[in-house]
Amino acid sequence: MSMNNDVVIKVDNVKKYFKVYPDKGKTLKDKVLFHKRNRFEKREVLKGISFEVKRGEAIGLIGKNGCGKSTTLKLLTRILRPNEGTITIDGRVSSLIELGAGFHPDLTGRENIYINASIFGITAKEVDERLDDIIRFSELEEYIDNPVRTYSSGMYMRLAFSVAINVDADILLIDEILAVGDMNFQEKCFQKLQEIKRNGTTIVIVSHAQGQIEKICDRCIWIEEGVIRDEGPTKLIGKEYRLAMEGMRADRARKEAEEEMAKLRKEEEEAAQREKEEKKRLKKEEEERRLAEEQRKKEERERKIKNLTCREICKQCGPDAHREGSLKAHYTDIQILNENGEPCVEYNTGDKMIVKLKYVCDEENIPLNFVVAFSRYDWVYCYDTKSVFKDGKMTMSRLQGEAELEIECLRLLEGMYYLDVRIFDENNKPYDNVFSIVSIKMLPQIPKKDNGIFSMEHIWKC
């Protein structure tokens, strides 16, 4: 852009970025040993803006927070310098950006007027000429000779604004400082700005107060994300900006509502999942308790069965009786009878013996094999017979059942014998194994015919 006599501010393709260090080393040792800390993120604030401001013109810079308005104003005041592009300014500049910068709290208001004015390049002589006007505008006549540290924040800002506004500047730069003091003082400041504008001072103002900008500014520049989105008459650009902001607010509200709904749905899903997991946990715990209770009952039943003495299931029980097995099927009553059906433990060789067995089983239709066996007193295994020998088939269980063995001719010879009764499964594993349940006494033969364990049918021919 070429600059003519009417243009007092020319901004040509200005770019500004800042280096953001996540964890910058502060000492030489840090920078040498931890050089990776010197890595930075290049954050662009202005991405190439250009505009002109004519003499006596008032323009407003608008845009949402972080778009680059205040950075632009600080570049105009030369607080910051651009990384690229040029800024040309023709005339004395007064800025209302950092009000009260340079004030010393221990000095009086009057003394601080001279100090603050010198920042704007005003000589002490010029301050003498304007001192009464500055004090009168600030309305701090009673407190002007008190230390600034005794001022309230409103008094402090009023004094600073009075100094800045009473400088004969060609260009006045303002950044969001029209809300100083009470309402009367704010109106006074606003009227002073309009007076300055009428006197031909060029004004550049940054503000979110759209109403104030429309009253003061002739033109607006809308900055968005570091670039100029639009510029033109204040009311037109202001209307477009408000509509855009309302659209953004609506979009943000809609997005927030969607996020809130998504959050609620997620919370509901998580709550449902937690409830599901809790039900699953409770169900698992209930199942574990049920299984534990069943196991406890089973163990208790088995313990009772195992603790059930052999004498309780057989009145003829001998002293050496004992039992083992899984007890899924087990005996509940055992009787050894003679041919008359009477309990008997003494027999002659050739007598009839009846073994009656009663049992219970956890399930029906389980294959069972009943066994009756005889051993001699010295544990010589003499004989056994199994129910499966009957027809080669296992007996299918009932919940309560009976088995009976009839020995028509007992061939054991004189001596003491032990009777064992068992129940086996199809794999020959014991459900119930009752050892030495009855001691059987075989009486001597009269007349004596045989020796050994058992008798054989025989005929001597001599």
For residue 63, pLDDT beyond 70: yes
For residue 416, pLDDT beyond 90: yes
pLDDT above 90: percentage of residues in the chain: 39
* Ranges assigned E (strand) in 149-270: 171-175, 202-206, 219-224, 227-233
H or E element that contains 45: strand 41-54
Q: What is the pLDDT of residue 5?
A: 66
324 residue type, one letter: E
Do the beta carbons of residue 59 and residue 207 sit within 8 Å?
A: no
Q: What is the pLDDT of residue 108?
A: 92
- Locate tokens 């910051």: which residue? 80
Pairing verdict, β 171-175 and 202-206: parallel
Q: Which tokens hold the place of 132?
A: 């009464």
H or E element that contains 86: strand 84-89
Domain ranges for the chain, please list them.
Answer: 7-243, 311-442
The CATH classification number of 7-243 equals 3.40.50.300
Q: Is the pTM of this model over 0.75?
A: no
For residue 37, pLDDT beyond 90: no
Q: For the domain made up of 311-442, give the CATH fold.
A: Coagulation Factor XIII; Chain A, domain 1 (2.70.50)
Q: What is the pLDDT of residue 303?
A: 64
Which neighbouring-strand residues pair with 86? 12
String of DSSP letters for 422-453 = EEE-TTS-EEEEEEEEEEEEEPPPSS----SS
d(CA 284, CA 14): 69
Gap between the terminal Cα atoms of the chain: 155
pLDDT band of residue 307 (cuts 50, 70, 90) is: low
Between residues 33 and 334, the one the model is more confident about: 334
Choice among 5-14, 247-256, 403-412 with the minimum mean pLDDT? 247-256
pLDDT band of residue 422 (cuts 50, 70, 90) is: very high
Mean pLDDT of all residues in 131-139: 89
d(CA 214, CA 34): 53
pLDDT single digits (tens) 325-337: 888 999 999 999 9
pLDDT single digits (tens) 145-165: 999 999 887 888 888 888 877
pLDDT single digits (tens) 6-24: 899 999 999 998 887 666 5
Q: Which tokens hold the place of 162?
A: 């009075």
- Coil, strand, or helix at residue 381? strand
Tell me, letter by letter, the H, E, C secondary structure of 310-334.
Answer: HHHHCCCECCCCEEECCCCEEEEEE
202 Cβ contact list (under 8 Å, min separation 6): 8, 9, 53, 54, 55, 56, 57, 58, 91, 170, 171, 172
* Ranges assigned E (strand) in 136-244: 171-175, 202-206, 219-224, 227-233
Between residues 306 and 133, the one the model is more confident about: 133
178 Cβ contact list (under 8 Å, min separation 6): 186, 189, 190, 193, 207, 209, 212
pLDDT above 70: percentage of residues in the chain: 90
pLDDT band of residue 251 (cuts 50, 70, 90) is: confident
Mean pLDDT of all residues in 119-137: 85
d(CA 195, CA 450): 151
d(CA 148, CA 159): 10
pLDDT band of residue 35 (cuts 50, 70, 90) is: low
pLDDT single digits (tens) 387-404: 999 888 999 999 999 999
For residue 302, pLDDT beyond 60: yes
- Chain-centre distance of CA 256, in angstroms? 21
The mean pLDDT of the chain is: 86
H or E element that contains 346: strand 346-347
* Ranges assigned E (strand) in 98-182: 171-175
Kindly state the DSSP code that residue 154 receives in the 8-state scheme.
H
